[in-house]
Homo-oligomer: A and B are copies of this chain.
């Protein structure tokens, strides 16, 4: 796609896209011709533009307006034309400074990150928190609250904590609970939480366990403890997007709003990113989500060691400063990774 373009055609396409990114207005042949670095007449540019339109890179909203890049054009742009710059030094400083008040819990860090992504990119920041089930179990504990109420606590390697209040059938003594915790920790510690459930079921078949009522009760209790919890997502800076001129009409604005209210759709999209590593870009229709026309998503995974934890990124108009935003997302992801590594 687009390999057939001559060098000059590429230059012109690039010029159009970059112009459109800053003006948000259809760009005409004169504007391109005048552009510093190109010494062509408007007429020539027009010929090229006609070709580019035929190839699907441009459209015009109406006859006598300029041309507007299509999603396909942006795709070609980010793949072939865009030289992704290094991140601005000042911005790097600014990002880093946000994390200086460090050592807080993981949820707070991620929330702060979404805020940060939004304010540095001037678009919308999103962060998908690690699925609890994809983390590694560090510790499991039962606390007796009184009566049959038990608080089950799971602590993940990354510092995330999940609690669950259980109403048990039997009245365990505090020491029973301690012994149960010890046994389960022995068995489950260090394993991915996703595997814990099957491991529990396996262990239940174990002969030794079948004859030890305490152990089998422990397993039954632990089974109640593990529940799939919904994905947690942080979004910040939605108003930044509403300020973009392309959404300055009621219909489009509502559309965007709807897109953001359907958080599970966004979660699905980000979930898809988890498998791939590094920066990923979805332009307009490439998101395959409804209500997302005119919006692009730039994401990157953040990791701990070689485990992918979650995804963070920026949502902006397709007409977005890719060259600036991509390094921001990239840098932030790496920083967050490092931050969570330490824990």
Question: Chain A, interface size: which category?
Answer: 20 to 34
Nearest chain B CB to A202 CB, angstrom units: 26
Q: How far does the Cβ of A144 sit from chain B's closest Cβ, in whole Å?
A: 8
State in angstroms the CA–CA spacing of A249 and B105 once bound together: 41
| A250 CB contact (under 8 Å) in B167, B239, B248, B258 | B248
Collect the chain B residues with CB atoms within 8 Å of residue A198's CB.
none
> Cβ of A37 < 8 Å from any Cβ of B?
no
Complex: chain B residue closest to A182, CB-CB: B174
The proximity string for A residues 93-134 relative to B, scoring 1 for CB distances below 8 Å and 0 otherwise, is 000000000010100000000000000000000000000000
Distance of A155 Cα from B153 Cα, bound (Å) = 11
**A261 to chain B: which residues have CB within 8 Å?**
238-239
Which one of B146, B161, B164, B165 contacts A151 once the chains associate, using CB atoms below 8 Å? Answer: B161
The complex places the Cα of A169 from the Cα of B243 at a distance, in Å, of 49
Q: Which candidate, A63-71, A135-143, A266-274, is the interface stretch facing chain B?
A: A135-143
- Check: A294 CB closer than 8 A to any chain B CB: no
In the complex, which of the residues A105, A139, A164, A167 has the most CB atoms of chain B within 10 Å of its own CB atom?
Answer: A139
Contacts of A239 in B (CB 8 A): 254, 257-258, 261
Residues of B within 8 A of A159 (CB): 165
6 of the cross-chain contacts (CB-CB < 8 Å) are A105-B165, A143-B153, A151-B153, A151-B155, A239-B254, A250-B250
